[in-house]
Structure 1
Amino acid sequence: MARMTGGEALVAALAAHGVDTIFGIPGTHNLTVYAVMERHGIRHVSPRHEQGAGYAADGYARSSGRPGVCLTTTGPAILNAAAAAAQGYSDSVPILFVSPGMPLRHPGRGNGLLHEVKDQSGAMAAILGQSHRVTSVGEIPLAVAQAWTDLTSGRPRPVHLEIPLDLLEEQAEVTMADPVPAATRTPAAESVTAGAAACAAAQRPVLIVGGGAARAGGEAVSLAEAVGAPIVSTANGKGIIPEDHPLFVGAGLQHQCVLDLMTDSDLVIAVGTEFAPSDWWIGLPDLSGKVLRVDVDPAAIITNVVPAVSLVGDAAITLRALRARLDLSTPADGAQRAAQWRDRHQASARAEGAPWLQIVSAIAAALPRDAIVASDSAMACYYGALSNLPLYRPGAFLYPTGGGTLGFGLPAGIGAKIAHPDTAVIVLQGDGGTMFTVAELASAAELGIALPVIVVDNGGYGEIRNEMADRNEPVHAVALGRPDFPALARSLGCRGVRVDEAAELTGEIKVALEADRPTLIHVREESRAARGMT
């Protein structure tokens, strides 16, 4: 036991769980936490807004597989981070959000204390499903350990920990709680038997990988090769299977050819995916009676599509067990079938992404194989990069799929670069989303990181402009003018350049990847939306 403040108990507990970085902003109520970070070997990164801190912790977690930590002060600060918490929840990202709360004996109806919120913990619980408010200094290490088990076992979703501000200052005898080994879920033997029988009987299988397969790429490839299954990935599954693998068809499920592939297949093996409408933009085909589903979350395994065979378990463990039960004398050859569907997927992707193909091709030419792309909810990302930019590693495509938030790309890219300082990380986003978190350029400049930030400009909220026009309604409130983005970047301590031709991007990205600071690269797109804005 050691005597320490609640603030130090928090930091010591985080350090004991391997935390090396915290993203956050100091405030009056959390200063005791900041006072001891350096003592415990934890680095602090200071975004310029709490929403940016949450997205940075998200990018750190998605790209590394380790939980990210976001620390705010009370009231408006944690509420600023709530959008990032919701985004992380929708995409199953392990992020610990920590904030002070009102004192233990604060009046229930409030008294106007600084940063007072009627029910701060309740607000976060409404978003995340849980928010733990501790009631003693001694409970803090236990609360951190419990939160860590939630973040690292089962379906990884954000957790909020609230520590009353008076407890952060109070001293008490504290016992650290050792990290609890992460629980792994092993599928039931009878489910594995049923799954193996379905795989053995299939003549035209297909495999879908989602974000839940992020640490099971090798196992997914092994199973696909054994049964001859072409592979498609969701947005959050992009990069889990190297996109030059002969069985890989493509990333992005929003194409008619993917629905046709599902219809053509007699077994759909779905690993770690919700069959969510945010992936299947044009709707789901009829999959009745032919889905074998692998998911660690027993509730999610029947969401949107009820499977014929359910395997509840960790993706890697389950796929290994399934592969071991398959008695196949010779590996099946699905490469020819995959090639046919890949041609169709690429044709559809190129047609959908035509206005951004030159930009995407220029980016691809500049990136090393292990690159990470932090993208925003922008047309250049979901029409352009998702299905047309090849990536080759898990956690390579950071994209706000479920929440669809704007402003995610830049801070997520900062988080990814902190987690992978020796890896090429780029940001790809639109002009509208850039303005949501543009202040984080100052944070990136302060860090001195080589981070190319590509801003694809169509003059405003292009997707919404097109939707207004398609509804034959007045088009207004979507044009955002033409900010001088390179000058803005330079004013915040970054490099700023403008390219007139997409082909110039390749060289500028390569220069930016070697620079001593972030580089904003501004390029204007030629698209229906851009013409409409003009």
Structure 2
Amino acid sequence: MSLMTGGEALVAELAEHGVDTVFGIPGTHNLAAYAALSRYGMRHVLVRHEQGAGYAADGYARSTGHPGVVLTTTGPAILNAAAAAAQAYSDSIPVLFISPGMPLRHPGRGNGLLHEIKDQGAAMASVVAYSHRVTSVEEIPLAVAQAFAAMSTGRPRPVYLEIPLDLLEESAEVGLIPPVSAGVLSAPAELVRQAGTALASAERPLLLVGGGAKGASAQVKAIAEALGAPVFATSNGKGTFPEDHVLSVGAGLQHRAVHDAVDDSDCVLAVGTELAPSDWWSGLPDFTGKLIRIDVDATSIITNAVPALALVGDSAEVLDELVQTLHGRKTDGAARARQWRTRVQEEARIEGEPWLEILAALAEVLPRDAIVAADSSMSCYYGALSNLQLFRPGAFLYPTGVGTLGFGLPAGIGAKVANPGAPVVVLQGDGGIMFTVAELATAAELGIALPVVIVDNGGFGEIRNEMADRNDPVHAVRLGHPDFPALAESLGCHGVRVNSADDLAAALKTALSSDRPTVLHIREQSRAATAMA
């Protein structure tokens, strides 16, 4: 037991759980926590907006598998981070959001204290796994330990912790709580045996790999090769199975060919995926009678499609056991995979045609350990998702479910902070970048080599096309063409205007070894860009 302020108790317990980096902005009400950060060797990344803090912590967590941490002040500050919390919840990313709250003995109906809002805990509860307000200094370590236990067992999702601002300043004798070591969850042996029998007898098996399989890359490879099964990946599963493997079909489940492949298969093994409409776009194929699902979440495993066999457990553990039931079966599925890969790539190239040259430049430059922080941009979901090969788990940071704009830049910052030796590239549209463009100053202050590729079509191109396709009046979508290189320079970055895709590869090479971030601004040639020129 040690005498600590609430602020120190918070930081000490974070350190107890291995936290070395916190993303946030100091404010009047959280200074007692900030006072303790350096004492515990904690690195603080000063962002320019709390939404950026949330996305940066998300990128940190997606690229490492370890929880990211956000520390804001009261009221509007934590609400600024709410969109990022919703994105983390949607994509099953462990991020701990922390802020002060109104004092412990604050009037229930309020009195107009600085930053007071009606009920910030309830607001955050609507977008995270759970929201908790502590009621004593002594409780703070327990609340932090419980949050990490929740984020590290079962389905990882964000948590919000509110500490009354008076408790951050008060002192008490507190004891720190070591991390809880949870056992790995495995599915019942009989269900694993049944699944193995079904897979072993399948003539045309197929694998669907989602974000929940990122920690099971080796096991996915082992079972794919044992089955000779083509491997299809969701956006969050992209890179978990190396996309140049002979059995890889690639990422992006929206293509008609993927539906046809499922229809043609006699057994589908889905690992760590919700089978969510945000991945499939035009609806799910018919999985009746042939779907085997592996998921750590017993609720998700029966959502969207009810499996013939539901194996609730850790993906790596269940796949390890499942491979053993195949009794050395080795089937060459390369020809089938090549057939479906050819069809998917044909569709992907048509869909992503305006961005193919840009993506080719990225592919030419990026090494195998590269991370691409993407945004909800046409160049990403029509382009990079299915047309840019990636080779490591967590290589494609993309806001799938909630689909927020402005994710790419701060997520790329978080990934680079977490993986300083890995090449990280941000791919954004001109509309999305403006949501969090101030984070260029954060990246510049960090002095990180971070290429930020802004693909400019003059506005919100997707919405412009949807308006036109509905025969609606097309309006409120043009954003003009800001001078992004000049803006980058003003915020301490390099700014480069790239006149053609041919010049992009050379500019990227330079940017990846630069002394600071580099904005690479290129105009796309597309239907939307032509209309909004």
User: Normalising to structure 1: TM-score of the pair?
Assistant: 0.99
After superposition, residues 373-388 of structure 1 pair within 5 angstroms as 373-388=372-387
In structure 2, give the amino acid aligned to 1:459: G
Partner Cα distance (2:206, 2:446) in 1: 44
Q: Indicate whether 1:507 and 2:500 are aligned.
A: no
Partner Cα distance (2:425, 2:274) in 1: 28
Q: Indicate whether 1:60 and 2:81 are aligned.
A: no
The Cα shift of 1:117 comes to 1.2
Say if 2:368 and 2:390, in contact at 8 Å, map to a contact too: yes
Report Cα offsets for 1:220-271 as digits up to 9, x if no partner: 1111111111000000000101111110011100100000000000001000
Partner Cα distance (1:146, 1:198) in 2: 39
Partner Cα distance (1:284, 1:7) in 2: 48
Question: 1:22 maps to which residue?
Answer: 22
Question: 2:228 maps to which residue?
Answer: 228
Question: 2:358 maps to which residue?
Answer: 359
Q: Secondary structure at the match of 1:293?
A: strand
Question: 2:176 maps to which residue?
Answer: 176
Question: 2:34 maps to which residue?
Answer: 34
Say if 1:212 and 1:272, in contact at 8 Å, map to a contact too: yes
Partner Cα distance (1:237, 1:259) in 2: 18
Say if 2:21 and 2:42, in contact at 8 Å, map to a contact too: yes
Q: Secondary structure at the match of 2:278?
A: coil
In structure 2, give the amino acid aligned to 1:157: R
In structure 1, give the amino acid aligned to 2:46: S
Question: 1:201 maps to which residue?
Answer: 201
Partner Cα distance (2:27, 2:260) in 1: 54
The Cα shift of 1:93 comes to 0.2
Say if 2:129 and 2:158, in contact at 8 Å, map to a contact too: no
Report Cα offsets for 1:178-230 as digits up to 9, x if no partner: 11113421111121111111111211000000000000011011111111110
Report Cα offsets for 1:268-318 as digits up to 9, x if no partner: 100000110100012111111110000000000001000001000000000
Partner Cα distance (1:423, 1:306) in 2: 39
In structure 2, give the amino acid aligned to 1:474: P
In structure 2, give the amino acid aligned to 1:451: L
Report Cα offsets for 1:328-383 as digits up to 9, x if no partner: 4x411111111111111111111110000000001111111100000000000001
Say if 1:154 and 1:183, in contact at 8 Å, map to a contact too: no
Question: 1:238 maps to which residue?
Answer: 238
Report Cα offsets for 1:135-172 as digits up to 9, x if no partner: 11111111111100111111000000111100000000
Say if 1:27 and 1:73, in contact at 8 Å, map to a contact too: yes
Partner Cα distance (2:505, 2:242) in 1: 22
Partner Cα distance (1:368, 1:229) in 2: 27
Q: Secondary structure at the match of 1:141?
A: helix
In structure 2, give the amino acid aligned to 1:208: L
In structure 1, give the amino acid aligned to 2:86: A
Question: 2:314 maps to which residue?
Answer: 314
Q: Secondary structure at the match of 1:216?
A: helix
Partner Cα distance (1:127, 1:55) in 2: 14
Question: 1:372 maps to which residue?
Answer: 371
After superposition, residues 214-225 of structure 1 pair within 5 angstroms as 214-225=214-225
Question: 1:270 maps to which residue?
Answer: 270
Say if 2:89 and 2:129, in contact at 8 Å, map to a contact too: no
Q: Secondary structure at the match of 1:35?
A: helix
Partner Cα distance (1:467, 1:390) in 2: 28
Question: 2:77 maps to which residue?
Answer: 77
After superposition, residues 45-444 of structure 1 pair within 5 angstroms as 45-328=45-328, 330-444=329-443
Comparing 9-18 and 331-340, the one that deviates more: 331-340
Structure 1 unaligned spans of 5+: none
Q: Secondary structure at the match of 1:150?
A: helix
Partner Cα distance (1:91, 1:218) in 2: 22
Alignment RMSD: 0.7
In structure 2, give the amino acid aligned to 1:480: L
> Which of structure 1's runs of 4+ aligned residues deviate more than 3 A?
none
In structure 2, give the amino acid aligned to 1:165: L
Q: Secondary structure at the match of 1:278?
A: helix
Say if 1:372 and 1:425, in contact at 8 Å, map to a contact too: yes
The Cα shift of 1:324 comes to 1.1
Q: Secondary structure at the match of 1:509?
A: helix
Partner Cα distance (2:430, 2:421) in 1: 28
User: Normalising to structure 2: TM-score of the pair?
Assistant: 0.99
Partner Cα distance (1:110, 1:384) in 2: 50
- How many residues align? The count is 533
Partner Cα distance (2:478, 2:356) in 1: 23
Partner Cα distance (2:525, 2:189) in 1: 55
Partner Cα distance (1:422, 1:225) in 2: 31
Partner Cα distance (1:503, 1:400) in 2: 29
The Cα shift of 1:60 comes to 0.2
Partner Cα distance (1:419, 1:259) in 2: 37
Q: Secondary structure at the match of 2:288?
A: coil
Identity of aligned residues (%): 69
In structure 1, give the amino acid aligned to 2:449: A
Partner Cα distance (1:11, 1:331) in 2: 52
Partner Cα distance (1:488, 1:366) in 2: 25
Partner Cα distance (2:133, 2:195) in 1: 42
Partner Cα distance (2:484, 2:306) in 1: 48
